[in-house]
Chains A and B, each alone.
Chain A
Amino acid sequence: MDLATVWFVLVAVLWVGYLALEGFDFGVGLLTRNLARNDRERRVLINTIGPVWDGNEVWMVAAVGATFAAFPEWYATAWSAYYLPLVLILMSLIVRGLAFEYRAKHDSEQWRRWWDRAIFWGSALPVFLWGVLLAGFVQGLPLDARHDFVGGLADIVTPYTLLGGVVTLMLALVHGAHYVALKTVGDIRTRARALAGRATAISVLTTGVFVLWTVAAHGGGSVTWLAWIAGAAAIASLTTGAAMNTRGREGWAFIATFATVVLVGVALFSTLYPNVLPSTSDIGGLTIANASSTNYTLTVMTWAAVPLVPMVLAYQSWVYWMFRRRIGVQHIP
């Protein structure tokens, strides 16, 4: 494997890690609207992700940084093409991050209501739009010879990419519900389990259709077989998660949806390989080869990533272990 391919895999790992980790805290954000019945319960939900959401979000920062560093052309083309959705994502993440930190900093009904809206929409919009974007990478964009985007909104918002958004949204909801069931006690835990079961049904359907569509319409690369396997495994894992959930094995249910998100990611990125952003206009497609940095840059970054990535995984896992206790309304001061 040449270094560019190694970095394609690493960039994919970072994006998929981001979706799997922030996926559940987006899901918890979505659940604050209807799963929580009062302010106290809402605070329980927010506190389940309190110590970890920020660390999860850094996966996005690392993914964007790695994309920029390893595949500057990919970053330049995609980020200028997806101008509007990316600005929306940024603004959503800004108000969402502030909402977690500021919600409890002032005692007023009105104040909390506004921040609750920020948490819900700040979770819903990014998780949906990231799905649209990732599906868009697979679908491709009309580019010119300089790899600049020459299309319009209709090239970005297509039935396929919208379905991609629905898939990430629904997966986040199930994933988040499993997390809440795993991290809480009492009534809210029971409700989260019930909701996860119902949402799984829709999620299996949308994810199934999406994976089939992805591989059937955009497959054909050298590792399409991997996409098929990952897609099938994603569905299997999603249904396993539901089964575990109904039996009260919430830890396993959470691991199952974690695996589902990872597998859907694997299906997407292996369909994409060896492209990073195909062109729908016959010219200007971006591949691992023509979008990557020089071998020297990739070597330098590999030397940095080899010790750092395991270190990050180690201390981040340690934090999850440290804050492993369930919480309930009785813990909210």
Chain B
Amino acid sequence: MDVVDLARWQFGITTVVHYFFVPFTISMAFLVAIMQTIWMRTQDERWLRLAKFFGKLLLINLAVGIVTGLVQEFQFGLNWSDFSRFVGDIFGAPLAMEALLAFYLESVFVGVWIFGWGRIPPKVHLAAIWVTACATLFSAYFILAANSFMQNPVGYEINEEAGRAELTDFWAVLTNKVTLITFPHTIFAAFLVGGGVVAGIAMWHLVQGRREPVMGEPGGASDAGVFRKALRIGAITVLIGGVGTAVTGDIQSKVMTEVQPMKMAAAEALYETQEAAPYSLFTVGSLDGSRALYSIEIPYLLSFLSTGSFEGEVQGIDDIQEEYQELYGPGDYAPNIPATYWTFRLMIGFGGLAAAIAAWQLWSTRRGRVPTSAWALRAAVVLPFLPLAANTFGWIFTEIGRQPWLVFGLMPTASGVTPGSTAGSVFATLAAFTVLYAGLTWLWIWLLVKYARPGLPDISAEARWGRGRSGEPAAGPGGDDVDGLQPDPDDDADQPLTFAY
């Protein structure tokens, strides 16, 4: 592999792994904020326990999400310095604004939320999680604006002398039609993840509790009522996310057909321009256009998806290739067809499956019913992972489908790479990042499972609002084993921190 391939692998691995954690954070921050809000309004302690339970999972996840995100900001300069020189005038601005507006808010207020339990006024504490949640949306918007510029460059002009693209209209970059549709699509897809995690874990506890009822034990039948509520919230979130991604995805594919027809032709492995084109659900055989051994097709669907009309003309790869050769000179302008074809279907398939499971969950828990079959348990376990896979394949599709362009129509991927970099150093860091990322992904799953398994936390001793609500200090667990230590006279309250690292 040459430097370009290695640099692409490095970017791919670090970005894909980073994106395991991002949708989880976005959606879970909102779900926890909602749970905490319900608790504040109803004073029903079950909601506090839910907020704390899923809040812990959020923090386990947020930590990995933040630290892996640092890498992204450095990547452009490390391996892609010519890209940075070429688009820096445009691309840097949304990144800087993301930091100034969103990332500061997120990082500062999540700290307030973590350490504020019992130490700051409840309303301020609740506001902290809402600020964190909203900040994740701002973050997503700016990053997607930057990415959408690479998909569909707008608001710039090329300065031949300086050899770079220069910003002429920042508003155009922020309101890029690709950004406007990618943002809701991405956010709905994120909610698919959070909903899947909540519904999956709640279902697991619910079914497990019914199969082996141990009264009073965390996770036992006594918590069934709470998990039932969580399950329904999670499942509804998945369904909303599912419908939302489908609708926005449909609009997005029409926008994509317009700005990157090659990507959409590759998604369908459609070689010849066709009117009333069918959509193939599944193809066995070669995707090089020579033959399809076995294919399930839905007539007219592709035309409808791409153009909004059943009879619409969909351009094929061969024609676009010819057109691009005239426009950009000789070269191969088609992305990796099997990768594009399959990632597109895996994205839709996994997302659809998650929505189907969520719908079944709602049905099977109607009017007090609780399923107890082994299949219910299995479905609960896979549910959190399906939307994650759908998100991952969606991004791989989007990014691979843009190839061979780094900035569509302006900069080929091969010319963005750092000129002096050697295969050796890129490979060494690729290997190091891969090992590190494999380790932390394993750790992430292990800790999530570890904290999800025991069920809802017992909050009778800790984590009440301490002085904030009852006016008397709350005794924390282990508060008595501080032997021989005199309370500091300067300190008015020596109760242990309700939350401490």
Chain B residues closer than 8 Å to A331, beta-carbon distance: 494-497, 500
**Cβ-closest chain A residue relative to B89:** A293
8 Å CB contact of A55 from B74, B107, B487 = B107
Contact check, A305 vs B451: say whether CB atoms are below 8 A apart: no
A315 and B108 contact, Cβ closer than 8 Å, known pairs A305-B100, A326-B488: yes
B8 to chain A, nearest CB (A): 16
Contact check, B108 vs A296: say whether CB atoms are below 8 A apart: no
**CB-contacts of A308-333 with B (<8 A):** 308-309, 312, 315-316, 319, 322-323, 325-333
Does B92 sit at the interface, judged by CB under 8 A?
yes
Chain B residues closer than 8 Å to A294, beta-carbon distance: 89, 166-167
Stretch of A77-85, A218-226, A228-236 contacting B (4+ beta carbons < 8 Å): A77-85
Cα(A331)–Cα(B479), bound, Å: 8
A300 and B93 contact, Cβ closer than 8 Å, known pairs A54-B111, A80-B420: yes
Does A297 sit at the interface, judged by CB under 8 A?
yes
Chain A residues closer than 8 Å to B60, beta-carbon distance: 101-102, 105
Chain A residues closer than 8 Å to B76, beta-carbon distance: 68, 75, 79
Contact check, A101 vs B419: say whether CB atoms are below 8 A apart: no
Chain A residues closer than 8 Å to B71, beta-carbon distance: 90, 94
Does A262 sit at the interface, judged by CB under 8 A?
no
Contact check, B63 vs A300: say whether CB atoms are below 8 A apart: no
A185 and B73 contact, Cβ closer than 8 Å, known pairs A43-B501, A51-B112, A73-B88: no
Contact check, B167 vs A296: say whether CB atoms are below 8 A apart: yes
Contact check, A65 vs B63: say whether CB atoms are below 8 A apart: no
8 Å CB contact of A51 from B90, B104, B111 = B111
Chain A residues closer than 8 Å to B88, beta-carbon distance: 68-69, 72-73, 75-76, 293
B135 to chain A, nearest CB (A): 11
* Dominant SS among interface residues on chain A: helix
Stretch of A144-152, A195-203, A237-245 contacting B (4+ beta carbons < 8 Å): A144-152
Contact check, B115 vs A43: say whether CB atoms are below 8 A apart: no
Chain A residues closer than 8 Å to B491, beta-carbon distance: 185, 325-326, 328
The residue in A43, A46, A61, A70 that gathers the most chain B C-beta atoms within 10 A of its C-beta is A61
Contact check, B78 vs A80: say whether CB atoms are below 8 A apart: yes
**CB-contacts of B484-499 with A (<8 A):** 485, 487-488, 490-491, 494-498
Contact check, B66 vs A54: say whether CB atoms are below 8 A apart: yes
Chain A residues closer than 8 Å to B494, beta-carbon distance: 330-331
A139 to chain B, nearest CB (A): 19
Contact check, A297 vs B108: say whether CB atoms are below 8 A apart: no
Does B98 sit at the interface, judged by CB under 8 A?
yes
**CB-contacts of B106-127 with A (<8 A):** 107-112, 114-116, 119-120
Cα(A3)–Cα(B78), bound, Å: 27
8 Å CB contact of B97 from A70, A304, A322 = A304
Chain B residues closer than 8 Å to A51, beta-carbon distance: 111-112, 114-116
Cα(A312)–Cα(B60), bound, Å: 25
8 Å CB contact of B73 from A43, A65, A70, A305 = A65
Does B34 sit at the interface, judged by CB under 8 A?
no
Does B303 sit at the interface, judged by CB under 8 A?
no
A105 and B451 contact, Cβ closer than 8 Å, known pairs A68-B96, A329-B482, A333-B477: yes
**Cβ-closest chain A residue relative to B79:** A80
Does A274 sit at the interface, judged by CB under 8 A?
no
Cα(A166)–Cα(B123), bound, Å: 45
Cα(A323)–Cα(B487), bound, Å: 19
Chain B residues closer than 8 Å to A308, beta-carbon distance: 97, 100-101
Contact check, A83 vs B78: say whether CB atoms are below 8 A apart: yes
A143 to chain B, nearest CB (A): 10
Contact check, A106 vs B447: say whether CB atoms are below 8 A apart: yes
The residue in B59, B87, B429, B450 that gathers the most chain A C-beta atoms within 10 A of its C-beta is B429
**Cβ-closest chain B residue relative to A101:** B63
A310 to chain B, nearest CB (A): 11
**Cβ-closest chain B residue relative to A151:** B420
Cα(A76)–Cα(B76), bound, Å: 8
Chain A residues closer than 8 Å to B170, beta-carbon distance: 296-297, 300
Cα(A296)–Cα(B165), bound, Å: 13
Chain B residues closer than 8 Å to A75, beta-carbon distance: 76-77, 84, 88, 92
**Cβ-closest chain B residue relative to A94:** B67
Does A64 sit at the interface, judged by CB under 8 A?
yes
A186 to chain B, nearest CB (A): 7
Cα(A300)–Cα(B173), bound, Å: 12
A329 and B485 contact, Cβ closer than 8 Å, known pairs A293-B88, A319-B111: yes
Contact check, A80 vs B81: say whether CB atoms are below 8 A apart: yes
Contact check, A93 vs B74: say whether CB atoms are below 8 A apart: no
Contact check, A79 vs B81: say whether CB atoms are below 8 A apart: yes
A322 to chain B, nearest CB (A): 6
**CB-contacts of A20-61 with B (<8 A):** 43, 46-47, 50-55, 57-58, 60-61
Contact check, B421 vs A80: say whether CB atoms are below 8 A apart: yes
Contact check, B167 vs A149: say whether CB atoms are below 8 A apart: no
8 Å CB contact of A68 from B84, B425, B443 = B84
Does A98 sit at the interface, judged by CB under 8 A?
yes
Contact check, B74 vs A65: say whether CB atoms are below 8 A apart: no
- Which residues of B pack against A, CB within 8 Å? 59-60, 62-64, 66-68, 70-71, 73-74, 76-79, 81-82, 84-85, 87-93, 95-101, 103-105, 107-112, 114-116, 119-120, 164, 166-168, 170, 418-421, 425, 429, 432-433, 436, 440, 443, 447, 450-451, 462, 476-479, 482, 485, 487-488, 490-491, 494-498, 500-501
A sample of 16 inter-chain contacts (CB < 8 A) reads A43-B501, A51-B112, A54-B110, A62-B103, A65-B96, A77-B81, A94-B436, A95-B436, A101-B501, A147-B85, A294-B166, A297-B170, A308-B100, A315-B105, A326-B490, A333-B498
Given contacts A72-B89, A72-B92, A90-B70, 17 further A-B contacts (CB under 8 A): A55-B104, A65-B73, A65-B95, A69-B88, A72-B87, A76-B81, A80-B77, A91-B433, A94-B68, A97-B66, A301-B93, A304-B96, A304-B100, A319-B112, A325-B491, A329-B482, A331-B497
- Which residues of A pack against B, CB within 8 Å? 43, 46-47, 50-55, 57-58, 60-62, 64-66, 68-70, 72-73, 75-80, 83-84, 86-87, 90-91, 93-95, 97-98, 100-106, 146-150, 185-186, 293-294, 296-297, 300-301, 304-305, 308-309, 312, 315-316, 319, 322-323, 325-333
